[in-house]
Structure 1
Amino acid sequence: MKKSLIVIFLVIFTLLLSGCWSKRELSDLAIVSALGIDKVNDGYSISVQIINAGEMSENKSSGSQSPVTTYHATGQSVFEAIRKLTASSPRRAYFTHMQLVVFGEEFASEGIAEALDFLARDQAIRSDFNFVVAYNSTAKDILNVLTPIEKLPAKKILNSALASQDAWGSTRFVDTEDLISELGDDDKSTVLSAIELVGDKELGKRPDNVERIETSAVLHFTGLGVFKKDKLIGYLTESESIYYNFLMNNIKSTIINTSCPNEGSITTEIGRSKTTIQGEFEQGIPKINVKIDVEQNVAEVKCAIDLSKEKTLKMIDKKTANFIKENIEKTINTIKDNYQVDILNFGEVLHKEDHKAWDTIKDDWSTMFPELEVNVDVNVKTTGTATLVNSIEKE
C-alpha cells in the first residue's frame, strides 16, 4: 500500500514539473530589436522596432510587408511608456533579444541617467546591447529608416558600428555595464557613437528605400558624442574620434594618409597600435605622458619613391608618427578647450600613480584639467610593403 502511494505521488509530482508555469509562447510576443528614447514635454517618447518574423525568413517572405514595424508611445517614465505600447502593439514587447538603444539628441542633452537606471534594473533586458546617440535627430527618425542588404535595421547599425570600430576606428562599442561604470562616479564622463540620418527621412520609411540602387536615406556614423556626466554636450568629428580611440588604446586598424617628400601621397594601414599613459606629479602639479607604438603596412603609393631603401621606410615612419602625434595633440586640445571634461580618464591615471597627491587636487580637477600638460610620443615601424618594392610610378 505504501509503495503504491509513493508511486502515485511520484507520478503526480512529475506531471507538475513537466510544465513551465511562466512560459511565453513565441506567437504571443513582439520581439524587440531596437529601442529609441526621445524627450517630449515633461515625459518620454519611446520607439520600439519589432521584428516581423515572417518577412525575416528568406523562404517564407512574402515581400508585401516590411521586415520590421516601429511602434511608439509616451509616458512620464520609460517603463510607463513601454507598458502603454500594449495599447497599439498586437503583442507584448519582448526585450530579451534587443541589440540596440538609440538616444535622441534632445533627450541625451537633458540627461540619460533615468533611462539607464531602468535599462539596468529591468531583469527582462539583457546588458549586451549597444548604445548610440542620434546626431541632430530623434531616435524615432533613426529607427524608422529601412536599410538595404541587411533586412533588420538594428543589426545593420550594430554591424556598421563594429566594422567601423575594427577597420576605421571612429566608433566605440558601449554596453550597459560599461556605461554604468563610466557614469557611476560624479567626476566621470563618457562618449557614445553618434549616428546621423543622411537624406530624406520620410522617403527612408518607405519600402522602396531598399529597392533603389541609391537609397533616399542612409544611416551613417559620424563620430563620437561627448557626455559630461550623463548629459550630451557636443561631438568629436570623425577624425577626432579616431585619435581619441588612439589615446584610449582602442585602435585595431585604420588608415593614415601622409604626403610624399616632393609631391603625391602615401597611404598606410595601421595594423597594431599600443598606447601607454603614465601620470606624474612635479611639486604637486600633475602631468600626463602618452606613448604610442604603431606598426603599419604600406597600402598605396602615389609618388616616385624606392621602398627597397631603409631610409625611405624611415622617412615614411617619421611622417606617419608626426601626423599621428599632431592629430592626437589637436584632439586633446579640442577636448580640453571646447568640452573641459576628462573623457580620456587622465584623472584615473593620476590617482593610480599617486593617490595621496591626487587627493590634494581631485576637488579642483575640473578646473585643472583644461590646463593639464600632456606630452605625446609616437613611434612607428613599417613592417610590410606588400608585393611591390617600388611604386608603380617609379617603375
Structure 2
Amino acid sequence: MNKKLVAVLIIITLSAMLLTGCWDRKELNQLGIAMAIGLDKGDDGKIQLTSQIVRPAAMEKQGGGKEPPYELVISSGDSIFEAIRHTVKEFDRRSFFSHIKVIVVGEDYAREGLGDTIDFITRSHELRKTTWLIVASDCKASDVLGVKHGLEKIQANYMEGILKSQKIESSSAASKVIDFIKTMPGEGSNPVTGVFSLIDVKSVPTEGTEPEQRKGLKLTGSALFKKDKLVGFLDNKDTLGLNILTGKCKKTSINVQAFSNDADSQVTIELIKIKCSVKPSITDKGNISFDVAIKAEGNMTEVKQDLDVTNLQLFEQINSNFSNYIRVTTDKTIKNIQGNMKTDVLGFGRTLEIKYPKSWSKIKSKWDDEIFPNVSYTVEVATCLNRTGLTLKPINAKKIGK
C-alpha cells in the first residue's frame, strides 16, 4: 500500500476520534442538583432517601417569591442505590450528587449501622468523602432537611454555615465522611460526629406584625459510635470535655466562679490554647492505666461584681478554679463514656497500641466491651491566665474580703 495513502488513513482515523463527543455527558437541563440528602429507616423497613434538589427557576427570581428555592424528593428502596433510582418515578430529572454539602442520618437509621452507607459513598463517583456527616436527634433526617431558617436561600448552605462555625464553639462536634471512615474499624478509636436537633425559633416582630413561630436547627453535643453503630449522645459540656481530651478544642469560652460559695462571682474565660497528652502504662501484673496531662491558656473576657482581678491573691484563685473546671469537666466526660457508652472515642486504645503493640494485639478484640470501661486514669491540669482585657481595675472594684 502506498505510504502516502497509509498516512492519510491514519490522519483521518485520528481526526474522527477527536470529533467524537463524551459518551457519558450529562446536560444541566436534564439534572436535578442535590445539595443535601437525608437517610431514615422507613416504616416498611426500607431505606428512605430525602434529596434536597435545587429549583433553578426559583433561584433566578429577584426579590424572592413564594416558590421555595429547592424541592424535597422522598423515595425508598432496599438499598441507597435503589432509592436513588426510584426518585425518577416522581421527579422529572435525574438526581446529581456531586454538589452535596451535608449527609444527615436519622437516629434509628444510625443505630442499625452506617457500614453499608459508608461503603456506598466510597464506591460512588459522585459523592465526596469531604461531605459533612451528621446525626438527627429526636427527629428524622427528612425533618432536618425540611427546615427553612437563616439567611441562605438553600437550606444545605444554612446547615454548612452552622457546621463551619463550630471551630469557635467547642461544645459540639461535627465530622466529615473521611473522618468517620478513618475510625470506623474501631481499632483503638471509634467515630464521633455532630448532632442536629430541631428548635423553636420565635422572630422579633416589626411594628404592626405578629411574632412568627418557625423551626430552626441547633448543632448540639455529639453522637458516639461503636464501629459503625450509634450507641448514644453526649451533651454540650461532656462534648467540650471530649474535644479537650481528643485535641479538637480550638477556641471556646467557659464560666468559672471567683468564689466557690458565690455563684454570682462569675468570670468568663476565653480558651485560646489547650493541649492534651495521654500516656498509657502497663504494670508487671498486666494492669492498664492512663495519665492524662492538660495544659491550657486563657484570657479573662468578662468579670461580674466588679471584682478586682489585679489583686494577685484573687487572680491566682481564679486561675485555680479555671484548672479545676477543666479537670472536673474532663473527668466527668471520661466516666460517662466508660460507664454509659462503653466505646473508646477518646483514642486511649490507639495510644496503647503505639506504645505496647504486642500487648495490644492480645487485648484489642475485647478492648471496648471489657477492658476500656474499667481502666484507671489520672487527670492533671495546668492553666495560665494571660490577660484581663483592656480594663485592669474596675471603677467600683470590690475587695476580696466579703
Relative to the length of structure 1, the TM-score reads: 0.90
Partner of 2:375: 372
- For the Cα contact (< 8 Å) 1:54–1:61, is it kept in 2? no
* Contact 1:74–1:81, Cα closer than 8 Å, also in 2: yes
> CA separation of 1:177/1:212 partners in 2, compared to 1, >3 Å: closer, same or farther?
farther
**5+ residue gaps in structure 2?**
203-208
* Contact residue 50 and residue 72 of structure 2 kept, 8 A: yes
**Alpha-carbon distance in 1 for matches of 2:211, 2:5:** 74
The amino acid that maps onto 2:48 is S
C-alpha displacement at 1:361, in angstroms?
Answer: 3.2
Specify the alignment match of 2:33 in structure 1: 31
- CA separation of 1:85 and 1:282: change in aligned 2, threshold 3 A: same
Count how many residue pairs are aligned between Structure 1 and Structure 2: 384
Aligned with residue 44 of structure 1, among 47, 54, 63: 47
AA of the residue aligned to 2:370: T
Within the candidate set 95, 98, 112, 1:96 is matched to 98
Q: Distance in 2 between matches of 1:56 and 1:239?
A: 40
Matched, 1:218 2:216: yes
Task: State the superposition RMSD in angstroms.
Answer: 2.5
Q: Secondary structure at the match of 1:305?
A: coil
- C-alpha displacement at 1:307, in angstroms? 3.0
Preserved contact between residue 302 and residue 391 of structure 1 (Cα < 8 Å): no
Cα deviations by residue, 1:364-392 (Å, 9 ceiling, x for unpaired) = 42212111111111111112222111235
User: Which residue is equivalent to 1:325?
Assistant: 327
Give the match's secondary structure for 1:306: coil
**81, 85, 88: which one pairs with 2:87?**
85
1:388 aligns with 2:384: no
Secondary structure class of the residue paired with 1:264: strand
Tell me how far apart the structure 1 counterparts of residues 373 and 186 of structure 2 sit (CA, whole Å).
20
Q: 1:243 to 1:187 in 2, by over 3 A?
A: closer
User: Which residue of structure 1 lines up, in the alignment, with residue 265 of structure 2?
Assistant: 264
288, 291, 310: which one aligns with 1:289: 291
Cα distance in 2 for residues equivalent to 1:14 and 1:311: 85
Q: Deviations over 1:215-265 (max 9, x none)?
A: 510111121112122222211011111111011100111111011235521
Q: 1:292 to 1:214 in 2, by over 3 A?
A: farther
Q: Which residue does the alignment assign to 1:206? A: none
Per-residue deviation, 1:304: 3.4
Structure 1 pair 66/240, CA: closer, same or farther in 2 (3 Å)?
Answer: same
- What does residue 197 of structure 2 align with? 196
Q: Which amino acid aligns with 2:305?
A: C
Q: Does the residue aligned with 1:308 lie in a helix, a strand or coil?
A: coil
Match of 1:154 in 2: 156
Please give the residue correspondences for 1:218-367 in structure 2 after superposition, counting only pairs within 5 Å.
Answer: 218-261=216-259, 263-283=264-284, 284-365=286-367, 366-367=369-370
Contact 2:188 2:347 in 1 (8 A): no
Gaps of 5+ in 1: 204-210
1:188, 1:342 within 8 Å by CA — same for their partners in 2? Answer: yes
Q: Cα offset for 1:61?
A: 6.2
What corresponds to 1:173 in structure 2?
Answer: 174
In structure 1, distance between residues paired with 2:396 and 2:57: 55
CA shift at 1:2, angstroms?
6.0
Q: Residue 208 of structure 1 corresponds to which residue in structure 2?
A: none
Q: What is the distance in 1 between the residues matched to 2:292 and 2:170?
A: 19
Q: State the shift of 1:189 in Å.
A: 2.6
The CA deviation at 1:338 is 0.9
Shift of 1:54: 3.4
Deviations 1:3-43 (A, max 9, x none): 68746754663464253332211111111111111112332
Q: What residue identity is the alignment partner of 1:50?
A: I
Whether contact under 8 Å (1:286, 1:350) holds in the other structure is no
**2:165 alignment partner, SS class:** helix
**Residues 1:185 and 1:234: Cα distance change in structure 2 (over 3 Å):** closer
Over residues 292-351 of structure 1, what are the superposed CA-to-partner deviations in whole Å (9 max), with x where a residue is unaligned?
111111110003333334444332221111001101101111111111111111111111
- The separation in 2 between residues aligned to 1:301 and 1:348, in whole angstroms, is 41
CA change 1:10–1:388 in 2 (3 A) is farther
% identical aligned pairs? 28
Distance in 2 separating the partners of 1:93 and 1:212: 39
